[in-house]
Amino acid sequence: MSRTYRATVRGRFEDLTDDQRRRLRDDQDAHGMFAAKFTPEGTFLYAPELIGYEFRYLLTIDEESPEDADIAAHMEAEEAAASAIRIRGFQGRITGVGLVCLEDVKIRSRGRS
């Protein structure tokens, strides 16, 4: 069974150097909330204060049960964000992972007036 998730991984920067802070501030416009999207490759977001960061992923998970898919999605999102922060040359620690399974979202039809 295939399940699609919107995963939000939050973290905190650690031990940023002056050069890293400068680089992050220079790129801020491309990583602010207006750039927020859920994508398979992940979207990297952070605020100008350079305290926390966020990655947003759109994940498709194939598992037998919804419970196993939830666990797999959590692990995949956490691993992807940890890798992505390292690849960018920063240190950080993950503080939370939020998941929304799109198959579980109920869409209410609007009543006609």
pLDDT in tens, 49-89: 999 999 999 999 999 999 999 999 999 999 999 999 999 99
Which residues, at least 6 apart from 77, have a Cβ–Cβ distance to it below 8 Å? 5, 7, 9, 55, 57, 59, 97, 99
Q: Which residue in 38, 30, 62, 50 sits closest to 90, CA to CA?
A: 50
CA distance 67 to 83: 25
pTM listed for this prediction: 0.88
Using 50, 70 and 90 to split pLDDT, how confident is the model at 105? Answer: confident
User: 89 with 54: CB under 8 angstroms?
Assistant: no
- Asked if pLDDT for residue 108 goes beyond 70, the answer is no
